[in-house]
With several copies, the nearest count.
Chain A
Amino acid sequence: MKRFIYADNAATTKLSDTVLESMMPYLKEEFGNPSSLYELGSRAKTAIERSREQVADALGALPREIYFTSGGSESDNWAIFGAANAMRQKGKTHIISTKIEHHAVLHALEALEKQGFEVTYLDVPGDGIVRTEDFERAITDKTGFATIMYANNEIGTIQPIPEIGKICRDRGIIFHTDAVQAVGNLHINVKEQNIDLLSLSAHKFHGPKGVGALYIRSGVRIPNYIYGGAQERGRRAGTENTAGIVGLGTAITEAVASIDKKAEYLTKLRDYIIGGVLKNIQRSRLNGHPVKRLPGNINFSFEGIEGESLLLLLDQKGICASSGSACTSGSLDPSHVLLSIGLPHEIAHGSLRLTLGEDNTFEDADYILSVLPPIVQRLRDMSPLWEKIKNEN
């Protein structure tokens, strides 16, 4: 029997059984529109409000600061376009971000640049972690908004969010963090960490796809992004995805409850694989910070080979993984994140991201460690680039 190892939990995760179970009634008999007056409707409404409390509890927020959306991308867009709009009212036109944000942030910022906003994209050093000094230096009297991701989706590096939050609060800068990769993996407290806006997406922590949330600190005023009915207290229109929202609530509660246990286990598993790869595959390089990274995140570059081929061969062996390169997106550019941390193009092309979940075992790790080196070797044997690299030394 072919083995199946899912090691792409940063791309998406499997719905947990309990999450699915909690959703089922709302896919069946509890189908009422939450805005409807009758019992069937108000039961759905109650379920949504329960989920809102669960999300708020998980973040150290108040339920009325949580707004459900269709996912991380919508949350990011709402936060960014909304904050830009709010700061413009105050005559501010400068935004600070980083070069390693997700495209949902970067492309929204690019759209703002076309509207006349000025955006500073902070560089990150080789370890992939933004320096707070750089952040402070970038602030001008025009700065009204900053958006810095909590943890990077490719190399898993964890950013100094509480520190940046503090600076922003002191300087009157609206602060958004894309926490899509962090929620359920790291301890987040929006109050203590001075976060004004935070994006999350359920499918990254064993919840359903197509549902997320935006935390908007009470007192922070940003305009709506999707106009219409009075759902979400008039702030986000559209008939609520009740089942999805209920699933989000269950998933975040489960994920947050097990953060420490999960982190301990995944860190061990991660470092076991990292050690094995570095030992067994020459000219391999771990991307990102060795310690300040998400517990389940592994990101390697292998000189002389290209990521897509590697992934497809791993798939043949039943291993689901991802590459730093955005090949599938129709673009042939290597990952902007790997380039930002200083990798040359040809090395950035040959990267592999393994993102582990609770379901992965040490047996899986051993299997990966047994399968990966020959695959890398096979591709290197095929590669005219490897030929040169070998000969150079």
Chain B
Amino acid sequence: MYTEKVMDHFLNPRNMGEIQDADAVGEVGNAKCGDIMKMYLKIDNNVITDIKFKTFGCASAIATSSIATEMIKGKSIDEALQLTNKAVVEALDGLPAHKIHCSVLAEQAVKAAIADYYRKQGIDPEPIVGKLTEADHH
């Protein structure tokens, strides 16, 4: 069902954990639907210097979280905002059709964390990050 890449990121998740003194935290999804992703960022000079995640969800939820953190670690916020769910899927060599929503969730989690970063600085994140819609997965 899953590609080797997905299994690798599921079995050996990168950047799993928390950052106690994170500069920003974003959480998306809900338990009722079966997946929650939480991302912690350290941001220095507009660059994401550290990132960690915690995920409640299926293997692809964990794998998409993991690879998303890898894809934006060390990147600038602007670059991180370019991350699309499509890029996540491609980086994992594909996801089953009914798991695509996990990649959407990963993209949203990154955006939610960045939004939190702006909000903490008193900046309205919406013009920058866009409206964060709950990932549609029903």
B100 to chain A, nearest CB (A): 11
In the complex, the answer to whether B58 meets A327 with C-beta atoms within 8 Å is: yes
Q: Which residues of B contact A306 (CB under 8 A)?
A: 34-35, 56-58, 61
Q: Which residues of A contact B62 (CB under 8 A)?
A: 309, 382
Q: How far is the CA of A328 from the CA of B60 in the complex (A)?
A: 12
Cβ of B87 under 8 Å from chain A? no
Cβ of B13 under 8 Å from chain A? yes
Cβ of B75 under 8 Å from chain A? no
In the complex, the answer to whether B1 meets A349 with C-beta atoms within 8 Å is: no
The contact size tier of chain B is: 20 to 34
Query: Which among A307, A325, A349, A387 is the interface contact of B54 at CB below 8 angstroms?
Result: A387
Q: Is the interface of B mostly helix, strand, loop or mixed?
A: mixed
Q: Which residues of B contact A45 (CB under 8 A)?
A: 1
In the complex, the answer to whether A346 meets B32 with C-beta atoms within 8 Å is: yes
Q: Which residues of B contact A387 (CB under 8 A)?
A: 54
Residue of B nearest to A334 (CB): B34
Q: How far is the CA of A121 from the CA of B110 in the complex (A)?
A: 43
Q: Which residues of A contact B10 (CB under 8 A)?
A: 309, 312
Q: How far is the CA of A344 from the CA of B30 in the complex (A)?
A: 13
Query: Which among B11, B55, B137 is the interface contact of A384 at CB below 8 angstroms?
Result: B55
Q: Which residues of B contact A385 (CB under 8 A)?
A: 31, 36, 56
In the complex, the answer to whether B54 meets A383 with C-beta atoms within 8 Å is: yes
In the complex, the answer to whether B13 meets A382 with C-beta atoms within 8 Å is: yes
Residue of A nearest to B58 (CB): A308
Cβ of B107 under 8 Å from chain A? no
Query: Which among B11, B32, B61, B98 is the interface contact of A330 at CB below 8 angstroms?
Result: B98
Q: How far is the CA of A334 from the CA of B57 in the complex (A)?
A: 12
Query: Which among B11, B31, B38, B138 is the interface contact of A316 at CB below 8 angstroms?
Result: B11
In the complex, the answer to whether B34 meets A349 with C-beta atoms within 8 Å is: yes
In the complex, the answer to whether B55 meets A382 with C-beta atoms within 8 Å is: yes
In the complex, the answer to whether A309 meets B54 with C-beta atoms within 8 Å is: no
Residue of A nearest to B65 (CB): A382
Cβ of B81 under 8 Å from chain A? no
Q: How far is the CA of A385 from the CA of B59 in the complex (A)?
A: 16
1/0 per residue, CB under 8 A from A, across B32-52: the answer is 111111100000000000000
In the complex, the answer to whether B56 meets A304 with C-beta atoms within 8 Å is: yes
Known: A325-B34, A346-B32, A385-B31. A332 touches B98 (CB 8 A): yes
Cβ of A37 under 8 Å from chain B? yes
Known: A332-B137, A382-B55. A345 touches B98 (CB 8 A): no
In the complex, the answer to whether B32 meets A42 with C-beta atoms within 8 Å is: no
Residue of A nearest to B16 (CB): A382
Give the interface of A toward B (CB within 8 A): 37, 42, 45, 304-309, 312-313, 316, 325, 327-328, 330-332, 334, 344-346, 349, 382-387
Q: Pull 17 A–B residue pairs with CB atoms less than 8 Å apart, ordered by A.
A: A306-B34, A306-B57, A306-B58, A306-B61, A308-B58, A312-B59, A330-B98, A332-B101, A332-B137, A345-B31, A382-B55, A382-B62, A383-B55, A384-B54, A385-B31, A385-B36, A385-B56
Give the interface of B toward A (CB within 8 A): 1, 7, 10-11, 13, 16, 27, 31-38, 54-59, 61-62, 97-98, 101, 137-138
Please list the 7 inter-chain residue pairs (A to B) with the smallest Cβ-Cβ separation, ordered nearest first.
Answer: A346-B31, A308-B58, A384-B38, A345-B32, A383-B56, A385-B56, A330-B98
